[in-house]
A and B are shown apart, each in its own frame.
Chain A
């Protein structure tokens, strides 16, 4: 069982928007603005898509956005494209003892 809870799968049609949730606790997501999101295509290494809840690294399209409310963070992908089909993982800092925790991952299918 992963420390952060994500839906196992989500889907959407090209051009639509999808939102992936990531639920933690007051010890991780709810206590720190250090939530990040990673995209992973099959057989590839994870790629940073969002950091510090809402920030996008250079090169990541602005179709990807992040937010947080209480103990739940969210990743929204708008204008879905076929290339967005991948697994998405959230991650949160959880203090100096636990360090970081990941979600179980969400498989995004573009219909």
Chain B
């Protein structure tokens, strides 16, 4: 059974940094692109960033470009999101999501980790 488990969320001050992790199991991690998707409390979903299976290609939403960095360690089946210069409007639940090999949709999601940016 496929499983994604996020960790690393918490309370951080504006301007601070946080690193999220997503541990994957139950599938061939390196064969799949992965994404981070966030959800502001009570609001909708927003795609944040994606990385190819090999890690060679990365993509970012304009709202996080230059502040967030996505990476992966295929030897440890783990996805990361380094978040710098955090702002109050980055407060959200962050989900990691697995993309299918052919197509662009997310067939597995983690349970999410809450990031709160506040002084």
A residues with CB within 8 A of B: 2, 32, 34, 36, 38, 45-48, 51-52, 57, 89, 91, 93, 96, 99-105
Contact = CB atoms under 8 A, between A and B. Distances in A.
B44 A103 contact: yes
A36 B106 contact: yes
Given A89-B45, A102-B47, A103-B44, A45 B95 contact: yes
Contact of B45 (A93, A99, A105): A105
B109 A52 contact: no
Contacts of A38: 45, 106
B111 A99 contact: no
B56 to A, nearest CB: 13
B112 A52 contact: no
B104 to A, nearest CB: 4
Nearest to A36: B105
Contacts of B45: 38, 46, 89, 91, 102, 105
A99 B103 contact: no
A47 to B, nearest CB: 7
3 smallest beta-carbon distances between A and B, as pairs: A36-B105, A45-B109, A93-B104
Contacts of B61: 99
A38 B104 CA distance: 13
B57 to A, nearest CB: 9
Given A2-B44, A99-B47, A48 B104 contact: no
Nearest to B33: A99
A57 B2 CA distance: 15
A105 B37 CA distance: 14
Interface in B72-119: 95, 100, 103-107, 109-112
B50 interface: yes
Nearest to A93: B104
Given A36-B105, A51-B100, A99 B44 contact: no
Interface in B43-73: 43-47, 50, 59, 61
A99 B61 CA distance: 8
**Max chain B Cβ within 10 angstroms of own Cβ: one of A52, A100, A101, A102:** A100
